[in-house]
Amino acid sequence: MKTQRQAKIMEIISTQNVETQEQLLSALQREGFRGTQATISRDIKELRIVKELSSLGTYRYTAPTSEMDGTFSSRLNTIFRECVVSFDYAQNIIVIRTLPGLASAAGSALDSMNISSVVGTLAGDDTVMVVMRDSNCAAALCGEIKHLLA
């Protein structure tokens, strides 16, 4: 049953924009699966499902691309958390200040996150410029950065 439920979870998140565990649980129930929020939470952890920022500035569940990418991204996220000094945005551009010499590591971490609303990044010695699709996406990513650094 667990294997079938987890397979259905992967199918649901690949075909629908699911933002919350409650939405995922409802979708599973519509498909005839029983469970609780705690069960869904454990499944999400076991399947290594993550939330990603969509182009609309909302978050949705998605599966990691591979085990190797997950490990690499985890390391880059750690680097990102440890090297960022400050960040802010104006319109659709985010400026991230880092410790000296670490801007390219922070930019690489952002690039590895495969955020669809990021048009591109440019890194110098201690500054990363991130060009976003629009100002709403820039605000949403700044919120995510704040959460990541907390």
What's the confidence (pLDDT) of residue 108? 82
Say how far apart CA 31 and CA 80 lie, in whole Å: 39
Q: Parse the chain into domains and list their residue ranges.
A: 2-47, 67-149
**Domain 2-47, CATH among 1.10.10.10, 3.40.50.970, 3.40.190.10, 1.20.1250.20:** 1.10.10.10
The CATH number that domain 67-149 falls under is: 3.30.1360.40
> pLDDT tens across 67-120, in order?
434 455 566 677 778 889 999 999 999 999 999 998 988 888 888 777 888 999
Burial status of residue 103 (CB atoms within 10 A of its CB: 0-12, 13-18, 19 or more)? buried
What's the confidence (pLDDT) of residue 115? 81
More confident position, 122 or 148? 122
> pLDDT tens across 29-57, in order?
999 998 898 999 888 888 888 888 776 77
pTM of the predicted protein model: 0.53
More confident position, 64 or 19? 19
